[in-house]
Amino acid sequence: MKKIVYALATVAAAALAGCANLDYNEASNRDEEWTYNSPINGVKALVYDVYAQLPSEFKDDIYGNGAMLASATDEAQFALSLSPIHKYYNGGWTPSNPFSNTWDRSYRAIAQVHMYLERIHKIDLSDYEYDPNYQTMVQQFELFPYELRFLRAWFYFDLVRTYGDVPLVTTTLTNEQANSLERTPSKEVFQFIVNELDAVAEYLPVSFKDIPGQEIGRATRGAALALKARALLYQASPLFNTDNDKELWKEAAAASKVLIDNAQRWGYSLSAYANLWGHETFTNPEFIFVLGTQADNRFEKNNYPVGVENGNSGNCPTQALVDAYEYKADGKTFREKHPGNVDVTAEKPYDGLDPRFELTVVKNGDLWPANAAQQIAVETYRGGFNGAPKYGATPTGYYLKKFVDGNCVTTANNQTTSRHNWIVMRLAEVYLNYAEAMYNYYGDADAKGEFGMSANEAVNVLRSRPDIDMPSFKGNDGFEERYMRERMVELAFEGHRFWDVRRWKKGADFFKNVAVADFRLDAAGNVILNRSTQTRQWDEKYNLYPIPQSEIQKNGSLKQNPNW
């Protein structure tokens, strides 16, 4: 019988494994014989199952009611107090309550990858040889092994940034094997990730526009190289680079520069900030890897202000985030110009801020949502239509606008929906990754070195976009602080802040004392921003997740992360 032959690069020998039953039947409910004898319905579905396990904050609802990881950082506070998201900083996070979805999901997906790679020889497309779509099938099945190895690299990256040292396995295991293995040093896990991405990148298409089906959300060459660059940046960061090896920063800079230099040729370009979300944005040329969803309005219901029909407040931006935005006129931050309480009505402190503020945050007085059926002038002050003491009202005085489609109608009747596309990687992040790596390698934000672009120049590519047009970064003074603010502003609510602060080992600086605001009316009816600080629990052990206690009980060879 005629079979497809795959030219797979040699995978590393079996290393260390996860502590779960990783046999075929646990990872898939499908019968193995049916799966491989019915490649179109079986194998293809298996591959797509692995894709489906990629984490998306628009698809997953790990913490309930749409709580985002941003609400476990200084970017936001989740309005509903019962959400598990608060356990990240209120003492409720333990090995017995470990937020184990990363461990469980990742090893389940990795096991599925191994099943496929070890059974390639069973795939037989000869029965389809005279099908008019035969060549399309062949082309897809030739790509699947490389896509799956990319996905395995992604899941290992998710594991290593979450737990540090993790069991590394490259083959299927018996229960006995899985439950007797130790953790692999993070350095080796990072090296495996980088090696795998290097091995598969050249076989992955630059784009799926010319691939039959033109499917989005699948692994491309750019996605492999962007993940490699991100992984190298994490490896070079203080949490993992305990010896402060400067060469790791150089490797990270080089990896990001490859993508920057090839961006135009591969079809990537920076877009207007407002075009990062919306119904049709899956075609945005800035996106390197994006996960789409079916059209719905759950995200809008979860984040529209209380007082708007079916609005639940959701992920409310903090004053700490607002304080990070700069003024176009002089580059000073909101906090620098307004360090104390502010008469919002008289001083109009939001005028002239970075345009990304208006696109990210709903403030008092804004007309929101955008749809005519529900639009109101938002009142976030105490006693206001959308403020406390209404149950679930914003605890920060602000509501979320970024990623929220204000045109969605959430009334009981005549509701409308929109697609939401979770950004896994985009070009702006690559520029920021490059800037960080360059500065940490050269110690000079103006040094171009062998790469021909300085850290300041890379950041300024983003700040000089026509729709942003912010003052340029210059010189070295305060570069690290300015860069961290820029990264917070540019990537707000995209899932980066939680991990960035941890890899920088800056949790005590940013997550322990968070600037918040209470808005009230004074005797004259003016809205006053009253500043205060919210103290949250922070411990250095929070830089890494605890290994789930259930896994340690199954495998005595696993050792818990320090101080958990």
Q: Where are the beta strands (DSSP E) in 328-472?
A: 342-343, 361-362, 367-368, 376-377, 399-400, 422-426
Q: Are residues 109 and 43 in the same domain?
A: yes
Q: Are residues 54 and 165 in the same domain?
A: yes
486 falls within a domain = no
Matching residue, tokens 């903090």: 318
Backbone φ, ψ for residue 524 (5° rounding)? -85, 0
Q: Are residues 239 and 336 in the same domain?
A: no
The pair of three-digit structure tokens given for residue 11, joined into one six-digit string: 């995978």
Domain boundary among 482, 504, 526: 504
Q: Are residues 8 and 136 in the same domain?
A: yes
Which domain range does residue 123 map to?
A: 1-59+99-184
Q: Are residues 282 and 330 in the same domain?
A: no
Q: To the nearest 10°, the Cα dihedral for 488, 491, 493, 498?
A: -60
Q: Are residues 46 and 130 in the same domain?
A: yes
Number of domains in the chain: 3
Give pLDDT, residue 213.
Answer: 59
Q: Are residues 105 and 33 in the same domain?
A: yes
Q: Is the dihedral of CA 534, 539, 540, 542 positive or negative?
A: negative
Rounded to 5°, angle at Cα 459 from 454 and 461: 95
**In angstroms, what CA-CA distances link 136 with 37, 144, 316, 391?**
18, 12, 46, 55
Whole-angstrom distance, CA of residue 95 vs CA of residue 547: 6
Give pLDDT, residue 212.
Answer: 60
CA neighbor of 239 nearest in space, from 514, 498, 559: 498
Q: Are residues 215 and 252 in the same domain?
A: yes
481 falls within a domain = no
Intervals of the chain under pLDDT 70: 1-41, 211-214
Q: Are residues 237 and 106 in the same domain?
A: no
191 falls within a domain = no
80 falls within a domain = yes
553 falls within a domain = yes
CATH number where 319 lies: 1.25.40.390
CATH number where 273 lies: 1.25.40.10
| Side-chain half-sphere CA neighbours of 114 within 13 A | 24
pLDDT digits (tens, 9 = 90+) for 269-304: 999 999 999 988 888 999 999 999 899 999 999 999
331 falls within a domain = yes
Give pLDDT, residue 65.
Answer: 94
487 falls within a domain = no
Matching residue, tokens 């993070």: 186
The pair of three-digit structure tokens given for residue 411, joined into one six-digit string: 């009334």
Q: Are residues 40 and 68 in the same domain?
A: no
210 falls within a domain = yes
Give pLDDT, residue 26.
Answer: 36
Q: Are residues 370 and 434 in the same domain?
A: no
The pair of three-digit structure tokens given for residue 414, joined into one six-digit string: 């005549």
Give pLDDT, residue 282.
Answer: 84
Q: Are residues 443 and 530 in the same domain?
A: no
Cis before residue 55, ω within 30 degrees of 0?
A: no
CA-based radius of gyration for the chain = 24
Strand partners, 317: 76
